Chains A and B, each alone.
Chain A
Amino acid sequence: MQEAVRHDAAFMGKITAGATHELKNVFAIVGESAGLLEDLLQAPSSRDFPHRERFLKALTSIRDQVRRGTHILTQLNRFAHGADSDTAAVRLSDVVENLKALSDRFLRQKALSLTLSGAVEAEEVTVQACPVSLQRLLFTGLMALAQEVPQGASLSIRTGAEADGVWCRLSRSEGVLEAEAVGAIRQILEEEDMAALLQALSATVLVQGDGVLVRLSRSGSTGPTR
């Protein structure tokens, strides 16, 4: 059964990766077409075109949305390729950047903002892990945290290295979590499927007032758990 689920995940990853590639081509065509219209509207012969400014404004909006869509597709493509291998050397900074892009829609429903602290970009922290399992662990932790903070709160993710492993802290940017919130997050992260996930990733989770601390050993996971 486990093997069948793994093949299903790999299949979904392959199809999703292919589709994101095609969609990126679609965005590229939309972007170039908008760019061509901008070029034509900037020409001296178009100066007297009555709706020139409104067209240019609309084209700027198209360009911005192309950029936004392309960013999401790039991150979705990376996520989909995570299913290519059971275990890989995963850069934590890539994982959290991916997490930020793909969780944005969920966080926006509660008007939450998420920032990656400087250490994330600065450090080249890698861990040997199943990319999809690791992403699922961090996503579950982030969603559990999001559920327990007030509307409009700011969240942050920091990563770093320690002697025998790496860590990732998901927390509120200001203030601490109340005891009730800590308990609720713990409950989610102690569910049966999460225990199996933690074991497969050789990971531990500590939930306290300052957020969710995930620790992983460098040698990492024993394989996927989906």
Chain B
Amino acid sequence: MEMFRVLLVDDEKEFVTTLGERLEIRGLTVRIAYDGPEALKAFEEELFDVVVLDVRMPGVSGLEILKRMKTSRPEVPIILLTGHSATRDGIEGMRLGAFDYLMKPIDIDRLLEKMREAVQGRMSKPAGGE
């Protein structure tokens, strides 16, 4: 069983709620945010091992949220979710400090594997290192 604390951010409520439930079945502690301001509030209130963030959202874009999160706590790995036409967003996101990006619809095992890599990568970095 996984023990990560994960923040899921996506405006597609049914998608992110169901994904959250599936991750909880696998032992993760999940908090969900449906838009940028809610995500940033959660990010300030709690410590997360990893953030899974949709790139395309109304209002504050995923890339803008990424930038703000990286400014606030650069050590927290962020995995982006992109649509089929948003590969460029994924690449731009990695340039801005995202750990990686996955295309929707996602395979949950692949997402878990990516989360593990992200969390392990964070733990293996020296204290204070990016």
Report which A residues bind B (CB closer than 8 A): 17, 20-21, 24-25, 27-29, 31-33, 35-36, 39-40, 43, 66, 70, 73-74, 77-78, 81
Contact = CB atoms under 8 A, between A and B. Distances in A.
A201 B14 CA distance: 45
Nearest to B81: A28
Given A29-B15, A74-B84, A77-B85, A24 B22 contact: no
Contacts of A43: 25
B14 A29 contact: yes
B22 to A, nearest CB: 5
Interface of B: 12, 14-15, 18-19, 21-22, 25, 83-85, 104-106, 108
Contacts of B19: 32
Contact of B104 (A28, A33, A35, A40): A28
A70 B19 CA distance: 18
B127 to A, nearest CB: 37
A74 B19 CA distance: 21
B36 to A, nearest CB: 18
Given A39-B25, A73-B84, A81-B85, A24 B104 contact: yes
A67 to B, nearest CB: 8
Contacts, number: 52
Most chain B beta carbons < 10 A, residue from A20, A27, A33, A74: A33
Most chain A beta carbons < 10 A, residue from B15, B21, B84, B85: B84
Question: DSSP majority for the A interface?
Answer: helix
B85 A29 contact: no
User: Which 9 A-B residue pairs are closest in the complex by CB-CB distance?
Assistant: A28-B105, A32-B18, A74-B84, A31-B105, A29-B14, A29-B15, A39-B25, A28-B104, A28-B15
A173 B2 CA distance: 50
Contacts of B21: 36
A21 B22 contact: no
A27 B25 CA distance: 22
Contacts of A31: 105
A21 B15 contact: no
B19 to A, nearest CB: 5
B58 to A, nearest CB: 13
A28 to B, nearest CB: 4
Contact of A25 (B12, B25, B85, B108): B12
A108 to B, nearest CB: 23
Nearest to B21: A36
B105 to A, nearest CB: 4
Contacts of B105: 24, 27-28, 31-32, 66, 70
A66 B84 CA distance: 14
B85 A17 contact: yes
A43 B27 CA distance: 13
A83 to B, nearest CB: 13
Given A24-B104, A29-B14, 15 more contacts: A21-B84, A24-B84, A24-B105, A25-B83, A27-B105, A28-B106, A29-B12, A32-B15, A32-B19, A33-B18, A36-B21, A73-B84, A74-B84, A77-B85, A81-B85
A24 B18 contact: no
A128 B58 CA distance: 34
Contacts of A32: 14-15, 18-19, 22, 105
